[in-house]
Structures are given as structure tokens and as C-alpha cells.
């Protein structure tokens, strides 16, 4: 047993030297020891103290069970110092001796050697006496003579003697004890015979020798250097460029000592390499050197290598040192490795036994005896990387049995007895070992090399081990392919997930199961979920209503406890009440008879209802699962009727970790019906056929109308929607802006920039320029509200139809006349009797003025008393008539002269000539088409109609005008041409559209429908405007535009256009234009116009609206041109100029 003196000042610097202990006894003493030296312990020598001294420790133990005493008075204890260490240098004991202190004590381990604390010092004596020591320097022996007191102490267990040896005498250059390489010998004699030299006892035949352990090398390391190829220097089978070795020696080494490296069986060592250059940087240092730092310790110098030899048979490399290495130093050196070098490559597997992958270190003396060793020092090697792993399941659906083909490419070669190990994750089901060999249908290495036999295959814990047989090798870089039948893997993983439990790990190993190559990450096929079949039944199935939903599906694969069923409702559903779920899940059924004992936990998140299968429930493959949620779970069905995942329900089954088991190919969706609009109606403004009118659309919506929703109205097939423009549709009950589009018979009004309309609000929209259908039923209408993508939100497809009547030309009053006092020319009485006649008249107005605005309608009568104003002179009476259909006639008139009783009149029988209706010369059409539009204010009040002279009977002209208007805006071009009796001229149409229409339209946004109407009117005219040329008709349109600031679109607009062409007062009034005309009148006639005077009024109206005459009077026009030049100092050029000329020529107004 070795013991150590633990010195409190020097404990960190212990090192051990070998020592041999001998016991030499007299025969009587041998009997006492029972013939055994077991009473002596192994002495420990070599505790270095701060580099200056060594402590020799001898500890006494009794023989087991003897209780005998070993020591007695006058016994001698001697220590022999080897020849290669300094002698004790016995002198006078005055401090020059190498022996600094000798102590004994009852407990050797507690003695402080430097001052004998916890012990008793044994003094030096020049003449040896009991209880003292001296030495024999020549014999290199230290003598201690035991006293009676010492013997008593030393006979106790663990008692002993310590000797402190200095390295060298003070001031001398003697070698130190650290240089020692030979054992120190301890000799014990029981009796000193006289003054006999105890050295003679060293060789006593009865002595026993004991081997003393010298300690061991420590802090060993083997470091593989960089590799020449891509793998790191530590990868198995690779050839690093060097190996570095590190060790710490407990003993001093001297020149000639050897470091012997013995490599494990996994290494190949090249024989007979003797080049010392293969060893570099053999450096002793005071500190260990890490793998990342090859620097030597401070002040270290390389130690010369005198020889280097390798031996392949023993796998050894021997280095002979050429210099001293002090004890406790770290020895670091590097050898060259690689092809044809000491070590050709790393071992071929990871984790092999030390005898395979490790290196033993041995420090030997010159003669070959081992001094200190360190076994099993190994680098940490890394496995190679298998590449291109493929796991291919021919049936990749979860839980199914499948044929598996597994492929990989070997990084390092495999040989006979190596193994390929396939480890399937825990999610696979593999329960039949007997299947393996029979059902391994193919095993291929590379392309052509096929295994002669499969070798042994074993299945344990889902691990298949394939043993490479004797006639097979796998080269580095070769592909290995194996196929297992579908009975080997009984079931694929039961859920789709990406982790090691659903993957296959592949490893190559040597015969001892040490790893050669493996995968960085186990390989995995891409599995697919099973296919659920499902349905959703909503009751009611009305869009945006609260509904009970019954969801049914049939499981493709079985479910177990902790699995989940997930119902994911699309974003169009409203679901906001988590607490409803369990209470309102009214039914949950598996199959027909098996009902869940409890529903388990249900959670709602983001419209996902997760049902956790509880412990006492399973769902078998093929079983139907039915669940019904009450109406409070789904607060609202989708608000829009559409086919989209946002309005559907997805159903999926998962395991406890949410990995998919089964799901739907497409989410299931009930067929929803749109909510119904109420109080719906589409009302055309006119119920006569082929009439341009405004349709009024009214409805009440059960749901809110979004700011971007659309209102769609479907008209019957007979309606003509060609004239509906982008601005035709508007909704007076809604804010924002509106745009209108037409597709077939559907008019769409699109909202923008508005706010949401509240549910249950009554709405009103209008659509202009709708042409009514032929006589009969209009067909039912459809009103729908859609979202911005035209998906229906609410609708009514059965809006009541209208009945249209045939359009007939309306007739007004005819054969009109009025006669004052039976036709008398004069009268003395203001009171007169009017004889009135008109056909088809129901109402009439009578006035002294051509202006009837202040006169009320009265019932038509054939006779009427009338009182004239009091001033004398010519008295006029005017009568206009109105038919039951609202058609008004031109005025009928008569006059009579009122005189005093004594007066006479020279012109009493003179009839005043009614001025002709003015018109513009045909040559001025271009001017009218290009004139600048004036600022106008339009008044919708009716003006009096006072033609100066009509070319057709006054009672039928207005009827003809209105018939013309109906043909302009509601009749096709072909029908118009048939009525006019002319053929179509498309070239003329194109010319008119590009020329006259384009000029008139400058500065205006014109729809194609309006443009077509303008083109037809200018190119072909109507029955009352055919007498005008193309340019004149264009001028009429331009006069309308100039007066009212717009192009004609509505029936009212076109009636005024035709009236102007026929010299009739327009229905609409432009206050601005009439004001400008009154100013011109003052310049011409040098007075303010009297608008009650028919001639003054005619002059103003002709200048304001450009009325054309029914018959032209060229002489009157020539005279008027002359007057114009005199007044304005120029010839007439513009449309306004010519309107002025016509007023002068035809109005009859005078200065």
C-alpha cells in the first residue's frame, strides 16, 4: 500500500520515483514475522518539495492478525541511494549533508517533514547511537539505529519514518535527485552486530524484495491533425496529415530514454520508418497545450530526437530522446501521418474498444524497462456521412402497409462482417420478424453488384440489421438500395409529421457495432393524410342567419384516446361565443349505436372547433361521425352566397400533437340561399311601349349594404338598355358616389365612397334612359344586392311585372278658332261675346296677351263672354286649347277695334299680319356648330308658344313634334328610315359623326348612345325637320346647347330641339340667354322690350333660342342684314349674329 505525506506547503508538487524495499532479518526475527514480509509496506519515494528536496517515506504495518512487534531497541534501518544520485555527503552534520531532516512518528501521514511536526526528529550522530542516524557516503547508505522509545512508536499501525533529502548541497553543483532513474533500496536489520558495516546486510539471503510503484503518465492526449480531403481530421477512415501527442511525466527523463507509442488494432502502422524528421516539435512545457494552440510553454526548447523507428507487427513507433526532460513536464510532439507514413489512416469506426482505436504511451529506460506508462489514450473520432438518403414508401398514406425502398450512398467502404442498420421510428408498426428475409425483395449495391446472399437480418425494437456476407463489399461512394415487402412495415406512421419518430435512421457499423457512417438527420418519406368524406347541413340555410350545423364525416383511419377532430369554419362565418360550445353541442354520434359517454374538451379559436376524444372512446376506420352545433354556435352563416373555402367548413382528424391523420380534399359547404329583399318594386316612368323613361327601383334589405356593394336590377328581355349610361343610375337614399354598367339585361349600380347602409332600411334608386318593351307584360324583375365581387348577398327574383300599352301618336285639339262678336270689325262696348270652336278639346285659356302664364285653365265652352281692357284701339283675343291627353294647341286669335261712340277708324278692317317664324340661312350651319356656349340658367316652367306663322296647321304641329321625339329616342335607325322612306347611308353617318357631331360635342362627355342619336338626327332628320339641311339641323342642336349648356339627352330636351327647328317656343327657359337677348333688343330698337307685346317677345325669343322659320323670306332677310350692318358696323358672322338678323327680319318689332 502506498501512502503519501501530504505537506501543507508543497502538496501540489508531488511526483513519485521507483523504490525497492528489502527486509533482512536474523532467523529468530524471521519467525516473528511468520516468514512473510507483509508486515512491511511499499515505501514511497519521490515527493518533490518546491523543486528543492525529496521525501522518503517508510510506513510500518503489522502482519495481519499477528499483533507481533517488529521493531526492538538497537534495530537498524538503512536506505541505500542509487549510484546515479548524489551520495548523502556525510560530514559533520553542519548543513552540508544532503539529508536535511529525519523524523519518526505514530502516524506517518501527519508528519510535517520539514520540521518534524507531529513526529520526533532523529538527530545526526557522528558515532551512531540508539535514536540517531549517520551515513556511509562511500556505501551511499543512510543508517538509523532504533532506540527503545522509537521501537515502541514504530510498532504501531501506520507508524513510520520520513527522510527529507535535498537535491544538492548548498553551494555545490552536484546533480539533483530529479535525475535519478534507479530505484532506491531500503534495508531493515533487526540487530546491529558490533560495529559491523550494515552494508553487508544488504545482500542477506533472508531478505525479501518488494516492487514499489513509480506512478504513471498523466494528461495524455492524441490529436488528429487536418485532413487532406473535405472530412475533418477526426473522421473515421480518413488520412490526417499529422498526429499530435501530449503526456505529462511524473519522473525525470534522461538522454537515451524512449517514448514508445503502441497503436490499437484499428490503425495500420507502416514498417521500418526511421526518419527522425517524421517527429517534430518534441517540446517539454510547464503547461498543457490545447488542440487549438501548439505553442510551447514559456522558455521551452525542443528536445532532440536521436532515433525514430516504426514496427508494423507491433504497431509501434519508438522515439529516443537526446536530452533530459524534468519530471512533471508536459511532453508534446507531432508525427507525420498519411499514406506510407507511420499511421496511414484513422481507425475505420467510431466508439470501438480502446484496443482498437486508442494509443498506449510507455516511457522506457535505455535497456527497455518500463518506467511509467499511460494506456488507452484516444482521439474522439467522428463518423462519415451517408449521403443521398431516400425513404420511398410506395403507399405513402398514413397507417397503411407499404413496400419500402431505402437508398443511401456509402461514405466509407464496407467489408465482410460489417453491418447496415435501419432504425425505424417509433411511429411505425413492425410486428413480424419472420417476414424480413422472405420479403426483402431486392438489395443492390451500385448498379451491377448484387449481394449473392442477403446475410442475416434481425429485427429488434424496429431495428433491421443487415450483415454483409463474405463475398460482398461496398465501395466508398457506392449506392445501396434495399426494398422490403409490404409485410415488413405493417403500418406507416399514423399521422403526418416531420420528426425522428416518423423517419428511418441508417447507420453502417463494423462487426463490433462501432459506427462507420451515419446520417446527419434520419430520412423520411412525405406521408399523406387519409381522405375523409363529409357533409354540412345548415338549418336554416339562409345566408347571414343563425343556423344549427350538422357535420357528418366518415373516418378513413381509426382514432384513439387523445386524438382530435377539428372543424375549421371559413372566415365568412360569424362565431363569437365560446361558452356556447359544450352546452349547445346537441348530438355527437360515432357510427349508428356508439355514442360518446362524454364529449371531452371543446375549444374555439379563430373559428376552429377542436374536439378532444376522451379516454373511453375510439373511432374505428370507416365509422361515421355526426355532430350538431346549436344555432348559437354559428351566430351567422356567410352573408354572401358564393362557392369558396371562406364559406365552407374543413374537417380534419389529428393526433394529440396536431399532426394530421385524415382530412378533406376540399372543405364541405352547404348550399346557402340569399336573404330576401322585401317591399320590392321596379316602376317605369311611362308604361307605354318603346318609350325612353326613368325606372324607379325600391326595396328594403334585411342585411346591411356595404359601402362597396352593388345594386343589380334585371329587366325583362323586351327592355332596350342601350341608352343607359355610366351616370344613369343613382340611389337617393344612399350616400357616396355611383357608377352604372350594363351587361345584357342587367343594370348594375356600384357604390363608392359612401358609408354602410343599415339593415331593414328602405332604399330608392333610379335608372334613366330605359326604353320600355313592346306592349304586354314586361316580365318579372330581379333586384339583388351583391358584394364587390358580384356574390349575391340578398335578392328578390320575383318583383312584380308591369303591363305596357302600345304607343300611339297622341292627338291634341284641332280645328281651332275664335270669333269676336260674330266677326264684327269694330265695337263700342268692351264686353264682347266669343264664339269658340275646337275639336278634341277639354280645357281652354283666354287672354288678351300672347302670354298665358297668368291665366288659369277653364273648361272648354263654345261661347264665352269676355271683357277687353279699357284703352281704345285694336283689341286681340287669344285662346289655347288642351286635350284630355294633355296636348296643348297653338293659340287661335281674332281682333276687333274698340272705338268711342263718336270716333271713326280708318284701319278698322285692316288685319295685322302675323310675322313669319324666323330661321337661319343654310349657309350659317357651320357657324352655329362652332359657336361658343353661353352661360345659361334653365327654368323648367312652360313658356307660351307663339309661332309667327306655321307651315302646318297650328292644331297638329305640336303633335307631330312630339311624335318625332318618340321616334328619335326610342326607335331603331332602321325603323326611322322606313318611316322617312329613305335608305341608310353609313358613309354619311360616319362623316356626320366625325364632322358635325364632333364639333357640337367639344367640351362635353358624350356616351355612344347619345352620339348615335345626334348622328341619326343630323344625317336623316325627322318628319318635321326634313326641310332643313344637315348643317341646319346641326345648327339647331348647337342653338339648344348654346341656350341650355348641354347636349340633348332626355325626351324633354329633344322636344325643345325639334320645337326650335319648327319655330316653336321651347319648353325650357334660359334666363341668361333671354337677358342677353333683351340687351341686344335695346341696342337694335333703342328701347326696352315689352314682353307682353307679341312682336317684342318674338324678337327676344328668336335671338335667345335661334328659332328657325317654317318658310324663309329672302327679301326680309336682305333688309335685316342691311339693318344689322348699320347697327353693328359689321356683317353677321356668328350664330348669335344670325339669330339677331332673323329677329329683325321676322319678329315685326319696331323702334
**Residue 405 · residue 440 · CB < 8 Å:** no
pLDDT mean over 22-31: 23
Task: Take residue 272 and report the three cell numbers written for it.
Answer: 521500418
**Residue 768 · residue 684 · CB < 8 Å:** no
H/E stretch holding 897 reads strand 892-898
- CATH entry, 814-898, from 2.40.50.90, 2.60.40.10, 2.40.128.20, 3.40.50.10950: 2.60.40.10
pLDDT mean over 937-948: 34
**Would you give the distance in Å from CA 324 to the centre of its chain?**
71
Cβ neighbours for 1085, distance < 8 A, ≥ 6 positions apart: 1099, 1149, 1150, 1151
Query: Does the pTM exceed 0.75?
Result: no
CA–CA distance, 568 with 645 (Å, rounded to integer): 10
Question: Is the link from the previous residue into 154 a cis peptide, with omega within 30 of 0?
Answer: no
Task: Judge if 384-518 and 675-804 fold alike in CATH terms.
Answer: yes
CA–CA distance, 739 with 696 (Å, rounded to integer): 16
Most distant CA pair in the chain: distance in Å? 211
CA–CA distance, 1114 with 1120 (Å, rounded to integer): 10
N-term to C-term CA, the chain: 158
Task: Take residue 789 and report the three cell numbers written for it.
Answer: 365581387
pLDDT mean over 510-514: 89
User: C-alpha angle 23/25/29, rounded to 5°?
Assistant: 125
pLDDT mean over 110-128: 85
Top mean-pLDDT range of 254-258, 280-284, 939-943 = 254-258
**Residue 221 · residue 362 · CB < 8 Å:** no
Backbone CA torsion sign across 380, 384, 389, 391: negative
CA–CA distance, 626 with 222 (Å, rounded to integer): 68
CA–CA distance, 42 with 62 (Å, rounded to integer): 13
Say yes or no: domain 675-804 is CATH 2.60.40.
Answer: yes
pLDDT mean over 539-546: 86
Cβ neighbours for 1131, distance < 8 A, ≥ 6 positions apart: 1121, 1124, 1125
CA–CA distance, 707 with 690 (Å, rounded to integer): 35
User: C-alpha angle 892/894/899, rounded to 5°?
Assistant: 155
Cβ neighbours for 1071, distance < 8 A, ≥ 6 positions apart: 936, 937, 939
Say yes or no: domain 530-663 is CATH 2.40.128.
Answer: no
| Choice among 88-92, 227-231, 350-354, 1143-1147 with the minimum mean pLDDT | 227-231
pLDDT mean over 355-381: 85
H/E stretch holding 384 reads strand 384-385
CA–CA distance, 3 with 16 (Å, rounded to integer): 11
Burial class (CB in 10 A: 0-12, 13-18, 19+), 819: middle
Task: Give the per-residue pLDDT at 831.
Answer: 94
Q: Considering only the top CATH level, what class is 384-518?
A: mainly beta
The DSSP bridge partners found for residue 240 are 227
Query: Residue 814, Cβ neighbours under 10 Å: how many?
Result: 18
% of residues, the chain, pLDDT over 70: 74
What region, left, alpha or beta, does residue 94 occupy, with left being phi > 0 and alpha being psi -120 to 50 degrees?
alpha
**Residue 1108 · residue 916 · CB < 8 Å:** no
Better pLDDT: 940 or 115: 115
Instruction: List pLDDT tens digits, range 33-78.
Output: 222 222 233 333 333 333 445 566 666 544 333 444 567 788 777 7
- Alpha-carbon dihedral angle through residues 1081, 1087, 1092, 1097, given to the nearest 10 degrees: -10
- Residue 104's nearest CA partner among 123, 85, 127 is 123
Residue 937's pLDDT band (cuts 50, 70, 90): very low
CA–CA distance, 1151 with 1147 (Å, rounded to integer): 12
Task: Give the per-residue pLDDT at 455.
Answer: 54
**Would you give the distance in Å from CA 784 to the centre of its chain?**
36
**Would you give the distance in Å from CA 975 to the centre of its chain?**
62
- Residue 1043's nearest CA partner among 918, 923, 932 is 932
Task: Give the per-residue pLDDT at 243.
Answer: 87
Q: Indicate the SS3 state at residue 213.
A: coil
Better pLDDT: 878 or 583: 878
Residue extents of the structural domains in the chain: 11-211, 227-242+250-377, 384-518, 530-663, 675-804, 814-898, 922-1146
**Would you give the distance in Å from CA 960 to the centre of its chain?**
71
Query: Residue 938, Cβ neighbours under 10 Å: how many?
Result: 15
Query: Residue 758, Cβ neighbours under 10 Å: how many?
Result: 10
Paired sense of beta strands 792-799 and 814-820, if any: unpaired
Backbone CA torsion sign across 1088, 1092, 1096, 1102: positive
Instruction: List pLDDT tens digits, range 1079-1089.
Output: 999 999 999 99
Instruction: List pLDDT tens digits, range 446-495.
Output: 544 444 345 556 666 788 888 887 777 788 888 888 887 777 888 899 99
Instruction: List pLDDT tens digits, range 723-753.
Output: 999 999 999 999 999 999 999 999 999 999 8
CA–CA distance, 523 with 525 (Å, rounded to integer): 7
Better pLDDT: 663 or 371: 663
Q: Indicate the SS3 state at residue 199.
A: helix
Amino acid at each position: 500500500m502506498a501512502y503519501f505525506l501530504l505537506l501543507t506547503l508543497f502538496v501540489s508538487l508531488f511526483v513519485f520515483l521507483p523504490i525497492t524495499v528489502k527486509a533482512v532479518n536474523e532467523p529468530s526475527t524471521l519467525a516473528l514475522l511468520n516468514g512473510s514480509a507483509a508486515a512491511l509496506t511499499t515505501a514511497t519515494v519521490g515527493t518533490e518539495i518546491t523543486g528543492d528536496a525529496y521525501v522518503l517515506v517508510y510506513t510500518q504495518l503489522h502482519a495481519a492478525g499477528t499483533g507481533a512487534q517488529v521493531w526492538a531497541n538497537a534495530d537498524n534501518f538503512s536506505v541505500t541511494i542509487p549510484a546515479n544520485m548524489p551520495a548523502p555527503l556525510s560530514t559533520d552534520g553542519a548543513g552540508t549533508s544532503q539529508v536535511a531532516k529525519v523524523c519518526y512518528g505514530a502516524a506517518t501521514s501527519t508528519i510535517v517533514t520539514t520540521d518534524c511536526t507531529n513526529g520526533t526528529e532523529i538527530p545526526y550522530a557522528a558515532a551512531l547511537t540508539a535514536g540517531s542516524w549517520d551515513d556511509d557516503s562511500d556505501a551511499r547508505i543512510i543508517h538509523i539505529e532504533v532506540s527503545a522509545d522509537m521501537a515502541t512508536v514504530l510498532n504501531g499501525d501506520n507508524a513510520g519514518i520520513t527522510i527529507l533529502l535535498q537535491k544538492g548541497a548548498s553551494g555545490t553543483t552536484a546533480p539533483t535527485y530529479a535525475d535519478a532513474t534507479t530505484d532506491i533500496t531500503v534495508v531493515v536489520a533487526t540487530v546491529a552486530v558490533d560495529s559491523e558495516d550494515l552494508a553487508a546486510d544488504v545482500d542477506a539471503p533472508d531478505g525479501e524484495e518488494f516492487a514499489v510503484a513509480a506512478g504513471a503518465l498523466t494528461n495524455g492526449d492524441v490529436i488528429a491533425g487536418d485532413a487532406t480531403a473535405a472530412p475533418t481530421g477526426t473522421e473515421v477512415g480518413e488520412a490526417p496529415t499529422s498526429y499530435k501527442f501530449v503526456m505529462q511525466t511524473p519522473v525525470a527523463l534522461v538522454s537515451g530514454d524512449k517514448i514508445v507509442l503502441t497503436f490499437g488494432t484499428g490503425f495500420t502502422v507502416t514498417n521500418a520508418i526511421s526518419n527522425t524528421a517524421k517527429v517534430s516539435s518534441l517540446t517539454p512545457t510547464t503547461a498543457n497545450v490545447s488542440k487549438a494552440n501548439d505553442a510551447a510553454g514559456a522558455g521551452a526548447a525542443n528536445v532532440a530526437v536521436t532515433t525514430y523507428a516504426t514496427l508494423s507487427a507491433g504497431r509501434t513507433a519508438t522515439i529516443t530522446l537526446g536530452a533530459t526532460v524534468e519530471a512533471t513536464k508536459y511532453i508534446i510532439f507531432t508525427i507525420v501521418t498519411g499514406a506510407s507514413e507511420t499511421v496511414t489512416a484513422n481507425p475505420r469506426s467510431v466508439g470501438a474498444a480502446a484496443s482498437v482505436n486508442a494509443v498506449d504511451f510507455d516511457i522506457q529506460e535505455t535497456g527497455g524497462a518500463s518506467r511509467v506508462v499511460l494506456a488507452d489514450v484516444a482521439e474522439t473520432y467522428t463518423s462519415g456521412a451517408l449521403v443521398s438518403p431516400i425513404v420511398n414508401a410506395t403507399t405513402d398514406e398514413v397507417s397503411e402497409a407499404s413496400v419500402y425502398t431505402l437508398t443511401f450512398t456509402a461514405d466509407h467502404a464496407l467489408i465482410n462482417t460489417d453491418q447496415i442498420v435501419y432504425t425505424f421510428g417509433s411511429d411505425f408498426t413492425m410486428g413480424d420478424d419472420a417476414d424480413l428475409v422472405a420479403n426483402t425483395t431486392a438489395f443492390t449495391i451500385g448498379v451491377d453488384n448484387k449481394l449473392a446472399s442477403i446475410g442475416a437480418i434481425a429485427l429488434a425494437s424496429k431495428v433491421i440489421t443487415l450483415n454483409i456476407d463474405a463475398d460482398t463489399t461496398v465501395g466508398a461512394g457506392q449506392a445501396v438500395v434495399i426494398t422490403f415487402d409490404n409485410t415488413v412495415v405493417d403500418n406507416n406512421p399514423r399521422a403526418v409529421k416531420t420528426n425522428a419518430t416518423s423517419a428511418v435512421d441508417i447507420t453502417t457499423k463494423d462487426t463490433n457495432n462501432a459506427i462507420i457512417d451515419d446520417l446527419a438527420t434520419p430520412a423520411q418519406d412525405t406521408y399523406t393524410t387519409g381522405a375523409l368524406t363529409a357533409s354540412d347541413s345548415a338549418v336554416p340555410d339562409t345566408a347571414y342567419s343563425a343556423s344549427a350545423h350538422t357535420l357528418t364525416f366518415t373516418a378513413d383511419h381509426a382514432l384513439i384516446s387523445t386524438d382530435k377532430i377539428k372543424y375549421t369554419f371559413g372566415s365568412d362565418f360569424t362565431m363569437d361565443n365560446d361558452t356556447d360550445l359544450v352546452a349547445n353541442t346537441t348530438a355527437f354520434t360515432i357510427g349508428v349505436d356508439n355514442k360518446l359517454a362524454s364529449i371531452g374538451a371543446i375549444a374555439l379559436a379563430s373559428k376552429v372547433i377542436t374536439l378532444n376524444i376522451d379516454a373511453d372512446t375510439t373511432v374505428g376506420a370507416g365509422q361515421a361521425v355526426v355532430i350538431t352545433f346549436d344555432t348559437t354556435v354559428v351566430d351567422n352563416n356567410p352573408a354572401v352566397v358564393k362557392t369558396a373555402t371562406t364559406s365552407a367548413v374543413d374537417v380534419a382528424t389529428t393526433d394529440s400533437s396536431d399532426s394530421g391523420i385524415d382530412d378533406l380534399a376540399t372543405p364541405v359547404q352547404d348550399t346557402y340561399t340569399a336573404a330576401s329583399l322585401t317591399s320590392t318594386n321596379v316602376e317605369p316612368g311611362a308604361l307605354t311601349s318603346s318609350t325612353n323613361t326613368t325606372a324607379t327601383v325600391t326595396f328594403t334589405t334585411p342585411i346591411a349594404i356595404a359601402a362597396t356593394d352593388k345594386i343589380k336590377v334585371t329587366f325583362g328581355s323586351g327592355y332596350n338598355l342601350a341608352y343607359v349610361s355610366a351616370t344613369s343610375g343613382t340611389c337617393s337614399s344612399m350616400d357616396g358616389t355611383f357608377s352604372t354598367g350594363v351587361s345584357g339585361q342587367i343594370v348594375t349600380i356600384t357604390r363608392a365612397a359612401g358609408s354602410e347602409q343599415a339593415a331593414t332600411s328602405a332604399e330608392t334608386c333610379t335608372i334613366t334612359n330605359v326604353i320600355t318593351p313592346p306592349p304586354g307584360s314586361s316580365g318579372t324583375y330581379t333586384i339583388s344586392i351583391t358584394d364587390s365581387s358580384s356574390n349575391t348577398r340578398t335578392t328578390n327574383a320575383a318583383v312584380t311585372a308591369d303591363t305596357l300599352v302600345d304607343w300611339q301618336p297622341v292627338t291634341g285639339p284641332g280645328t281651332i278658332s275664335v270669333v269676336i262678336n260674330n266677326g264684327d270689325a269694330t265695337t263700342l262696348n268692351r264686353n264682347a261675346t266669343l264664339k269658340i270652336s275646337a275639336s278634341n278639346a277639354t280645357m281652354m285659356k283666354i287672354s288678351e296677351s300672347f302670354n298665358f302664364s297668368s291665366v288659369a285653365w277653364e273648361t272648354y265652352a263654345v261661347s264665352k263672354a269676355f271683357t277687353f281692357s279699357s284703352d281704345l284701339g285694336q283689341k286681340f283675343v287669344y285662346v289655347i286649347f288642351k286635350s284630355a291627353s294633355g296636348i296643348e294647341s297653338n293659340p287661335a286669335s281674332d281682333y276687333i277695334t274698340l272705338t268711342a261712340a263718336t270716333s271713326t277708324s280708318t284701319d278698322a278692317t285692316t288685319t295685322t299680319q302675323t310675322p313669319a317664324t324666323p330661321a337661319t340661312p343654310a349657309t350659317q350651319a357651320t357657324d352655329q356648330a362652332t359657336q361658343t356656349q353661353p352661360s345659361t340658367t334653365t327654368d323648367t316652367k312652360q313658356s307660351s308658344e307663339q309661332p309667327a306663322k306655321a307651315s302646318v296647321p297650328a292644331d297638329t304641329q305640336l303633335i307631330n313634334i312630339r311624335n318625332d321625339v318618340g321616334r328619335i329616342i326610342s326607335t331603331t335607325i332602321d325603323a326611322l328610315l322606313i318611316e322617312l322612306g329613305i335608305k341608310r347611308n353609313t358613309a354619311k353617318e360616319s362623316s356626320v359623326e366625325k364632322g358635325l357631331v364632333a364639333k357640337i360635342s367639344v367640351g362635353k362627355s358624350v356616351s355612344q348612345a347619345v352620339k348615335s342619336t345626334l348622328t341619326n338626327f343630323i344625317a336623316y332628320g325627322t318628319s318635321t325637320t326634313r326641310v332643313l339641311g344637315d348643317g341646319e339641323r346641326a345648327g339647331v342642336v348647337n342653338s339648344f346647347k348654346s341656350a341650355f349648356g348641354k347636349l340633348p339627352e332626355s325626351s324633354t330636351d329633344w322636344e325643345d330641339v325639334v320645337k326650335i327647328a319648327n319655330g316653336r317656343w321651347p319648353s325650357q327657359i334660359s334666363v341668361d340667354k333671354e337677358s342677353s337677348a333683351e340687351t341686344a333688343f335695346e341696342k337694335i330698337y333703342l328701347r326696352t322690350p315689352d314682353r307682353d307685346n307679341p312682336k317684342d317677345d318674338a324678337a327676344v325669343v328668336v335671338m335667345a333660342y335661334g328659332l328657325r322659320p317654317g318658310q324663309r323670306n329672302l327679301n326680309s332677310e336682305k333688309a335685316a342684314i342691311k339693318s344689322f350692318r348699320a347697327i353693328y358696323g359689321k356683317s353677321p358672322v356668328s350664330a348669335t349674329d344670325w339669330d339677331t338678323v332673323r329677329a329683325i327680319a321676322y319678329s315685326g318689332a319696331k323702334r
